[in-house]
Structure 1
Amino acid sequence: MALTSVQSFRDVLGELLVEIGNEDQNVVVITADVGKSTRAAKFGEVFKDRYYNVGISEQHMITFAAGLAAIGAKSVVVAYAAFIMRAWEQIRNSVARMNLNVKIIATHSGYSNYADGSSHQMLEDIALMRVIPNMNVVVPADVHDLRRCLKKLVIETRGPVYIRIGRDYSPPITFGIEYDCELGKAYLLRDGHDIAIMGSGVVLYEALQAAEELKKMGISVAVVNVLSVKPIDRETILNVAKKTGRVVTVEEHMVFGGVGSAIAEVLAQEYPVPMRILGSTTFGKSAKSHQELLEYFNLDKKAIVKAVLEVISHGNR
């Protein structure tokens, strides 16, 4: 699969926020002194009276967004995933407990902020967000997913949503595939019958490449985009697991509490199958590229192929 139509997550985010602002006058955007680097500032250039920079104060950012939502605004918070977690208590108490209409867009997630190292590489956020009642969690695979989802989530969807995206790197995972973004839905990117690779985010590009390599070995691989991590699509996960009998999950996140854990919870309760969860078990590190980190932390095509072969070998014993 050639890398074509590669676009930047944050650049597309900035464009979409302006489009959303034009469509709905109730949308407000709040950030914590990272408007330029997240491209949220593009909204502020067009809608100065609906854009708020609260400074480096993430707890205040969330509380302020909750207050605006309480009086009818459609609040959109935009900041780095790593630093939004400073406001977990406010997200829990002020947003989720009150079930307020606040959309939290977490940028620079996973290994996407490769040069800044472990302090900026957020690998624990899905676990922290999906445990909160009323909080929905969406992880677009690429900018095409972001385009499908963002307007619908901000303008039409009521209640809290955590939307996790990277910094720039967005290989064309879902380009040319037709589906609508819906909470509680996962999407089959590739059909197969020997094993399934399920996951979220840009690492699905590596999964699709791995599926191509495995096809050459005579192994048929299904690939599932778990776009909505919470609520999770139990029906699709179970149907694919029943068809393939084996599952490998991939994500730019800790193996604890993330997408793999969410899938395992479904399968353990209803249809246990041989399974491997690929992700991180430690903090990130500085690197020269996003790809370098995927290789270092065993989330690249080669590592996924190896995991698939091990699961198949184990299941055939």
Structure 2
Amino acid sequence: MSKSRPTVLLTNDDGPPDSKESPYIFGLYKHLTERLGWTVKVVIPSSQRSWIGIRCHAPPISSLADHDQERRYQIKEITKGHYFYPTNPNGQGEISPVSRPLKENEVAEWILLDATPATCANIAIHNIHPNEIDLVVSGPNLGRNSSSAFALSSGTIGAAMSSSLSKVRSIALSYGTVVHPTPTTYFEPAHILGSNIIESSVAKLGFRRLEEGLKIYWTTMWRTSYGRLFKAITRPSSRSGETPKVDPAGPDSSTSPVEPVENATPTESDLVFKWSPTMEGLIRPDHSSLVGGKRWLGFA
């Protein structure tokens, strides 16, 4: 390639900088632009869009239409966007309906789309920055996307897969956070390691590398599966008039507190379910399920 440094599209599924839901994207952006000296374009969802992969979903039935149902590619909606201007030190910034010059302390102009990660990636590559992008980096995701079950549901990986289908080399990056809330002292080492991995991978495409590359291992992905992801919500009885309750820990728990079901009326359907995944086996797997007692969990 003729260029010594790549032009990168940075996207994610956690949305714009936020201390709780999207704490990492601004820090990685600064590492890629300031430490590596790369040109980085940012097109991300305007809000949290995890757990949506890349497949298309049909629009919801009318009784659920007022809920913001997540889709993989948005094929029925008009996708709208705004300009976002992150500032030091934490990436918070102003949103504008039109592009404008940077103000004092603003780092760059990003784009927020009311869209899924896969939609953001495709629009960025083909509409906003056509013929500009050498590499797509999706992430850093808040939490790990190791194993097949998490990977196939991940909006982070979905954006990278969407980009690869547009023939653009793509990397999905996740920070395997297991301490909550995550100490801010963890951020900088994660950004350094993450950007080093990205730089080492990009060097294989012919771009100049600033530092000696890391050794990268290709591996098979850990095969996992889901258990129950939703729980049934009990609706009120028209005869009893009792306030409906649901156990937030799931139907197998007998000791957890109960919570009322919102907006329930006696005339609504009995077929009502709420997202309440059982993830213990995926988050803390039994060692017997890991070949040889250990496994590379999705780092490739």
Q: What TM-score comes out, normalization by structure 1 length?
A: 0.31
Instruction: Please say which structure displays the higher CA radius of gyration.
Output: 2
Whose helix fraction is larger, Structure 1's or Structure 2's? Answer: 1
The two structures have a TM-score, normalised by structure 2, of 0.32
